[in-house]
Structure 1
Amino acid sequence: MPNIEQEARLLEEQFDYDAVDPEQIRIQEKIMSMDYSDANIFVLATLYVKSRDQKMTEKGFDLLRNLLQQHSSTSFDSFENNSRHYKRDVMYLMAVGHYHLAEYPEARRWLERLLQFDPSNYQAPKFLYLIDKKIKDDGKKGLTIIASSAAVVGGIAAVGGVILLGLLSRR
């Protein structure tokens, strides 16, 4: 049985999809203009979020938030028997979108909300592990950059000090 690190790696590979074909988005937008249903809104929002274009992703977030707000206490028109499943998918997709935008705290909030809604969700803990690992790795990279910058500044200051001492000793 794979450990959580292996499962998180597999999860990240699932997120590494190719950019969505703009033609696919155009077709879905046309379908939605003819049939403005929750199912079509969800499909279009999914395409927007997976587009890897920040503006499109934001449009997807708006559609998903509207779905959650409009149907927070009622079942979705196309998913009456699967309302919980559908709401879970909306929250998970929000987390995926924020993850791709490197907005890890926001992705984490959506996953925590998902776990409150569906405590038995098996993907969310793996995804949280992946996010925590990303944050930790990014923090290490940031510290490395800061340390390197400090070394460069320190080196420049040392050279400047030597030059200044040389100038003062000539007087």
Structure 2
Amino acid sequence: MEAKINRFFDSVGSFFSTNSENIIWCDHDIIAGCEKEVREAASEEQKSDSVMRLSWALVHSKDQADVNRGIAMVEASLANSNSSLQTREKLYLLAVGYYRNGDYPKSRQLVDHCLEIEPEWRQARTLKKAVDDKISKDGLIGVGIATTAVGLLIGGIAAVLISKK
């Protein structure tokens, strides 16, 4: 189990690649290991670090309930951030969670805030590109649906007018 957790966290550095679909997913075994680590933490500092790792694992889960739980954990801990680095990390986790939930505008807002704190942060810049790509794609789909609806409406009106002649 420990080896699996170590492999998982070793992959954090490659969390996002140039392809936004290569986001690391977290399985239930990793989450269970992180939960155990939180329970067994000997000090408040260890517990805080363990909770951050658990939050990271949760927002990277394929299970929507885990993602929502991770978002709630990070939001609850955000006010207790002791530094701009902690705030940045927590905002980033929230941005990932909202991205996973499909709330791209909220994710974009959070990742922009991360970039205000650290403008050259590569992971945040890559997440921002992934969010922007999703927003653009969703916008194009919306335009396509609207265009189709207008076309059907015009076609219906034309059919009614032709049938009245």
SS at match of 1:12: coil
RMSD between aligned alpha carbons? 2.6
Equivalences, count: 146
Which residue pairs with 1:155 in the alignment?
155
Q: Deviations over 1:14-54 (max 9, x none)?
A: 32x34x32233233223322327011111111121111333
Which residue pairs with 2:106 in the alignment?
106
Residue range with higher mean Cα deviation, 94-103 or 126-135: 126-135
Which residue pairs with 1:46 in the alignment?
56
Work out whether 1:63 is the aligned partner of 2:73.
Answer: yes
Report the CA distance shift for 1:105/1:120 in structure 2 as closer, same or farther (over 3 A): same
2:37–2:50: 8 Å Cα contact kept in structure 1? Answer: yes
1:45–1:61: 8 Å Cα contact kept in structure 2? Answer: yes
- Map 1:12-23 onto structure 2 (within 5 A): 12-15=20-23, 17-18=24-25, 20-23=26-29
Work out whether 1:28 is the aligned partner of 2:34.
Answer: yes
Which residue pairs with 2:119 in the alignment?
119
Q: What's the TM-score, normalizing by structure 1?
A: 0.70
5+ unaligned residues in a row in structure 1: which ranges? 1-7, 76-82, 167-171
Measure, in 2, the Cα distance between the counterparts of 1:25 and 1:129. Answer: 27
Q: Deviations over 1:110-158 (max 9, x none)?
A: 1122122223323333432332232222111111111112212322332
1:25–1:47: 8 Å Cα contact kept in structure 2? Answer: yes
Which residue pairs with 1:79 in the alignment?
none
Measure, in 1, the Cα distance between the counterparts of 2:147 and 2:38. Answer: 52
SS at match of 2:102: coil
Larger radius of gyration: 1
- Map 1:79-98 onto structure 2 (within 5 A): 84=85, 86-98=86-98
Shift of 1:101: 1.8
Report the CA distance shift for 1:128/1:32 in structure 2 as closer, same or farther (over 3 A): same
Q: Deviations over 1:76-126 (max 9, x none)?
A: xxxxxxx72x44332222212212222111111111221222233233334
Q: Which amino acid aligns with 1:33?
A: R
Measure, in 2, the Cα distance between the counterparts of 1:32 and 1:69. Answer: 20
1:38–1:67: 8 Å Cα contact kept in structure 2? Answer: no
Measure, in 2, the Cα distance between the counterparts of 1:41 and 1:53. Answer: 18
Which residue pairs with 1:4 in the alignment?
none
